[in-house]
Structure formats: C-alpha cells, structure tokens
C-alpha cells in the first residue's frame, strides 16, 4: 500500500516575508529587479501552462521529448531507489522517470506550494500503490534536509530552471545539491542550450502575448500582496538576448515617467520613461559550461542527452 504524506520545512509566513524582502531590495536597486519566482501565483501558473503549449516555446517540449525517449537509459545509468525532485510542481514530466525506475522505493517532490504537492502526491499515490511519496514544502534555493530514504538517490532539477539563477546563485545551488548526495548518488539537470538569437527571443516574446501577460503578473502579485498601485498597462514586456552572458533577460519597460507606491513597505518608487525593471534572467548553456560548473562543486558529468534538434539537454552527474 502506497504511503503519502507531506512535511513542511518552510515556516507558514516564510513566503510573505521573502516577498517583502525581495520587493524592498529589488525596487530600491539600480537597475530595478524582481525575482521570477513571484510570477507563480495561481494565475501565473495557469499562464505558464499556456506558455508551454505555444509554438514558440520549445524548452518544455524538448525536455519532455528527451525524458520520453531516454528515461530507460537514465534509469539504467543510475538505478535509483529514491527520486528527489526540486521544484516538482505537477510532477507531469517526472512520470517518465517513475515508470523507468523499476526498483524505485520513494519519490520526494519538493515545492513551495502545498496545494501542488498535495494534488500531485495524492494522484501519484493512487496510481502507484507500490511507491512511497513524501512531499516536502520547502524552498529549494535554501539548505534542505531530506527524509531518511534508501539509496542510491537521484536528485532531479528539470525545466531549465537553473538558468533563472545568476552565476553566484547557481554556484550556491549546485554546492547545496552536492551536499545532499552521497557516493553512488547522482544529479539529473535540465539545461536550455545556446542557439540562434531569434529563436530564443521568440520563445520569451510570443506573438499571442501570453508571455507578456505572464511577465506583468509579477506586478499583479505585488499589487495584491503589498497594496502596491502598479498600472500594468503602463509597462511593456521586453525580451532581450545578452550575448556576453549568454542569457535572455525579461524586462518590463515603463511607458512614462511615473511613481509607484507600495504602502505595505512605505515605498514610493520613481520610474523614468523607458526605464526597465528586470524580472527574469534565463541563462543558456553549452556542454563544457555545464561540466565546469558541476566540476567546481565536486560533481562529474558522466552522461549527456539532447532532443533531436539539440535545443535542450539533460545531464547526469555523479559525486566525484
């Protein structure tokens, strides 16, 4: 009989405190920034689901293709008894791995959303009575304590989400991931690859305007949670390729000179006409860069899979 339960390692008020801190710091910095994790309230999550279905947005389909075609190879390369997924969400793509890992004992989805964990965990427990599902309500960018489960462990971080972390944040994240692993364990990492600039920009600025609505949703979150008065129509969505850093930046550009008030923080924030607020960085990778960043924290890249058009990669690394 499957066991399913959820453990909260994140204090009830942690996300509210983090939002206040991020908005305070980001809107008083030069240039102004807001972290992309605040896109994802219920509406933002729905918008992102729509983005994954857009013809321009290839990363979701490319990674799903790799998992569908290569899950058995991944399972053979590291026959894990525990699968830990960071930022698990609906756990949809992970089902390919769950099917392929014949001796899997426990699945540990990690997410900040209790409702997402409950919904996905209950569905998996019903579908797979032989599987133990132990959800963790936690922020994967902070130090984690995993439940005591059998090894080997496969730590999974999909979606190219690692690209949303700045280089110093990535280094901290990878060091934290390495700290969770023992000899015989591994990290399966999804990374979007460097490609033609036009393809990249279209993926983050679709013709239907869904990504623009997603980008502006961060302002709606700040309005609702911190009583701010952002006028969403006073900002334009912009996607820019930075060839030096090899990343896409999503920005919101102020159409006019304006002042935005955030009463919950006692802030009045001036925007010049044309001033941009950065909402996301999405780094793109080359194999040698991935290998070097893994090596710097004591992980050795041992396997590399791409989709048929080499747009996206999954890499398996092991404790060196």
State the pTM of this model. 0.94
Could you give the CA distance from residue 111 to residue 101 in angstroms, rounded to a whole number? 22
Pairing between strand 82-86 and 258-262? unpaired
Could you give the CA distance from residue 76 to residue 69 in angstroms, rounded to a whole number? 13
The answer, yes or no, to whether residue 284 has pLDDT greater than 60, is: yes
Concatenate the DSSP letters of all residues of 218-282 into one string: HHHHHHHHH-----GGGEEEEEEEETTTTEEEEEEEESS-EEEEEGGGTEEEEE-TT-EEEEEEE
Q: Give pLDDT tens digits for 59-99.
A: 999 999 999 999 999 999 999 999 999 998 878 889 999 99
pLDDT-derived band at 1, boundaries 50, 70, 90: very low
Q: Give pLDDT tens digits for 115-174.
A: 888 888 888 988 898 999 999 999 888 889 999 999 999 999 999 999 999 999 999 999
**Helix (H/G/I), strand (E/B), else coil: 177:** helix
Residues in the chain: 320
């Amino acid at each position: 009989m499957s066991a399913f339960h959820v453990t909260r390692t994140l204090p009830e008020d942690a996300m509210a405190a983090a939002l206040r801190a991020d908005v305070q710091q980001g809107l008083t910095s030069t240039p102004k920034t807001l972290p992309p994790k605040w896109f994802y309230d219920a509406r933002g999550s729905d918008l992102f689901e729509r983005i994954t279905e857009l013809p321009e947005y290839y990363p979701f389909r490319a990674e799903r293709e790799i998992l569908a075609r290569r899950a058995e190879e991944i399972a053979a390369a590291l026959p894990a008894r525990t699968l830990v997924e960071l930022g698990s969400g609906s756990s949809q793509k992970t089902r390919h791995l769950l099917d392929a890992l014949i001796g899997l004992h426990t699945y540990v989805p990690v997410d900040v959303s209790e409702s997402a964990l409950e919904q996905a965990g209950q569905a998996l427990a019903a579908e797979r009575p032989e599987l133990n599902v132990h959800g963790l309500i936690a922020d994967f960018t902070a130090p984690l304590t995993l439940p005591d489960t059998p090894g080997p462990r496969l730590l999974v971080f999909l979606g190219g989400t690692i690209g949303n972390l700045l280089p110093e944040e990535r280094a901290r994240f990878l060091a934290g991931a390495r700290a969770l692993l023992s000899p015989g364990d591994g990290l399966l990492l999804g990374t979007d690859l460097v490609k033609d600039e036009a393809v990249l920009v279209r993926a983050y600025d679709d013709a239907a305007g869904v990504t623009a609505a997603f980008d502006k949703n961060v302002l709606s979150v700040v309005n609702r949670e911190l009583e701010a008065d952002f006028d969403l129509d006073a900002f334009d969505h912009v996607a820019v390729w930075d060839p030096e850093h090899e990343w896409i930046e999503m920005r919101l550009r102020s159409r006019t000179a304006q002042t935005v008030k955030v009463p919950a923080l006692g802030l009045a924030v001036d925007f010049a006409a044309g001033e941009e607020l950065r909402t996301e960085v999405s780094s793109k990778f080359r194999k040698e860069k991935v290998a070097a960043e893994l090596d710097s924290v004591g992980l050795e890249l041992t396997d590399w899979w791409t989709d048929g058009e080499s747009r996206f990669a999954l890499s398996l690394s092991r404790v060196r």
